[in-house]
Amino acid sequence: MASNRWSESEAANLNGELELRVYSSRLLGSDPDLVLHGGGNTSVKISQQNLFGEEEEVLYVKGSGWDLATIEAEGFTPIRLQPLLRLAQLESLSDLEMVNQLKTLQTRAAAPTGSVEAILHAALPYPYVDHTHADAVVTLCNTPRGREFIEEIYGDRMIIVPYVMPGFDLARKVATLFQAEADADTIGLILLHHGIFTFGQSAKESYDRMITEVNHAEQFLRQHGAWDLPEDRVVHTGYDSIHDIARLRQQISTLTSQPMILRCDTSPTALTFSQHPDLATITTQGPATPDHVIRTKRLPMLGFDAAALSAYASAYQDYFEQCRTEVDGGESLQMLDPAPRVILNRQLGMICVGKSASEAAIVTDIYHHTRTIIQRAEKLGGWQALSPQEIFEVEYWELEQAKLRRSGHQRPLQGEIAWVSGAASGIGRACVESLLAQGAAVVGLDISPIIQGLFERDDFLGIQCDITDPDQLATAVSKAVLAFGGVDMVILNAGLFPGGTRIAEMDDALWRKVMSVNVDANLTLMRESYPLLELAPAGGRVVIIGSKNVPAPGPGAAAYSASKAALVQLARVAALEWAESGIRVNTLHPDAVFDTGLWTQEVLEARANHYGLSVADYKVRNLLKREIRSRDVAELATALCTPLFAATTGAQIPVDGGSERVI
């Protein structure tokens, strides 16, 4: 059941209507069964003085790009209420012009663009209005007897609004119905195939009504045996080909003409759903709400191989051409990429696709809820969502087309996947940060458990792994492919630098340990990643973090210098062998990078004293008199992975401020 999370003690510490609006909005946004990833809308009407000291009513409505779970006061767009009410009386208004009007009516120029449902919120004569896509309500709406069920549950408390695409037409429809049907008992609206609205004189009243009415829908589902999902009954296939996943990613990326992220859900629940005997019927009826059309873009593709993907793309082409002929002015529409966003496979469960890791995560969450909604709706007579034409109209909505035209510069590595070894600290961590900043999804490998919680975000996966253990490394590679779909870039950074040990004092165990980490483990990771790098949509890239000790070794570093030299020689051979597969391999030689765990204050002082220098002077003991930091190495490593170096392989580049011994 939906939980009422209102706290009187927390609310008592808030000042004014807007703070209460933020508070109750966050309560709604914190429940994924009500609101998912930017869905839903809330508003409050506030009387305030304008520049001339006059009182005017202002609608504060959730702004575009904000998520109810984390919204702040500045996430609400202030729009003058009376002009909005006048707009609601117009016979027609294009959605592009509507958005233009919303923007010009804002009282704060820097505020985000107000929700396209702003006029709808304005037309409801209550201070507080809440709107969610509650799973239970959407389930009922998307059945053949949906309206009948809604009427049975809510009676006269709710006005039922037939499906109208979001935008001005929906706002006008709601305003007309509310004026004709609302009475003292009306507490909300049910928008068929869309969601639920509640409203009230206070934030608490509107919120309480939302939770109560959603619970009525949930209770109805329970009473009719449509709440509990089927038990997981997975037919295990033993299928675990990560190379097929990477190959599928390559094929999807080809369809979209850009690298894509694949997120694989192999949980028992996902597998059970994907092995449903009527999967083709229950999953091709449309998304749960128009909001989900915009986010997931597509009905799911069934199957897995290239033939299935080709058939899907062809079917989407036919769907586009057929629907376009029925849309006024549709000849100007350009087809969006025909790649699926959800793939259901009997062996792997659910694979979700996105142009970025965050987009793939959103699709995953949405379809997790969608498959639950579908299975419950099936117990109430079947799943019956929007028609293909209605899906098309939302997908090719003029506002979405305008958004695509306005889309800004894409980061160079968006949609691509990088693996970084030794990623928990120093140069490795800096590489992770740099790659993330350029749009890549990153898998960090490290023996330290710190790696697992290094970054809490959709585009990072930290895996604790001893790279000298082939079994652990194979498991890590499998996890990485399931998380993001493959690999485009590998940065080999993990290494071991033993304390100064001269050759005459070197024991075999230390020598073998250094070689095991610095050479053998890197060879294994290169070998395991090669067939995946071959499938990288834009060509694979490998960056080796070498050392100044390769061209200019020093006494007491025999094991380290020899191991790094062997690694660089391995990289040179790889550049020769892998070029025919479009994989480029380059090496960086950093020196004296002092912001790493190797350089404690004590070590720095000892080395500075050895040369008769202060620590500050010792740090810039190079030709450019520049301190070298982990970030300097990381930024160049990332740049080597971008198109700037598309014609470079086999290079060895110093990152040392200029060393007389190397030059």
Mean pLDDT for the chain overall = 91
**The CATH classification of domain 242-406, taken from the options 3.30.1370, 2.60.40, 3.30.450, 3.40.225:** 3.40.225
Radius of gyration of the chain (CA): 29
Pairing of the two strands 188-191 and 76-80: unpaired
Domain extent listing, the chain: 8-223, 242-406, 417-593+629-655, 597-627
Distances (CA, A) of 497 to 139, 160, 446, 559: 59, 70, 15, 8
For 455-508, how does the pLDDT look when each residue is reduced to its tens digit (9 = 90+)?
A: 999 999 999 999 999 999 999 999 999 999 999 999 999 998 887 788 998 899
Pairing of the two strands 349-354 and 261-265: antiparallel
Closest to 245 (Cα-Cα) out of 641, 531, 584, 462: 531
pLDDT of 404 reads 67
pLDDT at 213 over 60: yes
Please report, as a single letter, which amino acid is at residue 554.
G
Give the torsion sign (CA, 12, 18, 19, 25). Answer: positive
If you average pLDDT over residues 52-68, what whole number do you get?
94
Topology of domain 417-593+629-655, CATH? Rossmann fold (3.40.50)
**Lowest mean per-residue pLDDT among 49-53, 268-272, 290-294:** 290-294
If you average pLDDT over residues 282-304, what whole number do you get?
76
Closest to 280 (Cα-Cα) out of 254, 258, 240, 311: 311
CATH of domain 8-223: 3.40.225.10
Give the residue carrying structure tokens 């749009």.
439
What SS3 state is found at 91?
Answer: coil
Comparing 407 with 338, the larger pLDDT belongs to: 338
Give the torsion sign (CA, 221, 224, 228, 231). Answer: negative
Residue 148 φ then ψ, to 5°: -60, -45
For 122-179, how does the pLDDT look when each residue is reduced to its tens digit (9 = 90+)?
A: 999 999 999 999 999 999 999 999 999 999 999 999 999 999 988 899 999 999 999 9
Beta partners for residue 44, in sequence order: 60, 128
**Lowest mean per-residue pLDDT among 295-304, 433-442, 522-531:** 295-304
Alpha-carbon span 206 to 202, nearest angstrom = 6
pLDDT category, 300, cuts 50, 70, 90? confident
For 228-248, how does the pLDDT look when each residue is reduced to its tens digit (9 = 90+)?
A: 988 888 766 666 689 999 999
Per-residue tokens: 375: 């299975």
pLDDT of 611 reads 82
Please report, as a single letter, which amino acid is at residue 473.
L
The yes-or-no answer to whether 8-223 and 417-593+629-655 have a common fold is no
pLDDT at 622 over 70: yes
For 449-482, what is the HEC assignment? HHHHHCCCCCCEEEEECCCCCHHHHHHHHHHHHH
CA distance from start to end of the chain: 70
Alpha-carbon span 330 to 315, nearest angstrom = 19
Angle at the Cα of 124 (from 122 to 126), degrees rounded to 5? 100
What SS3 state is found at 159?
Answer: strand
pLDDT at 329 over 60: no
Per-residue tokens: 574: 């790889």
Give the residue carrying structure tokens 């404690």.
600
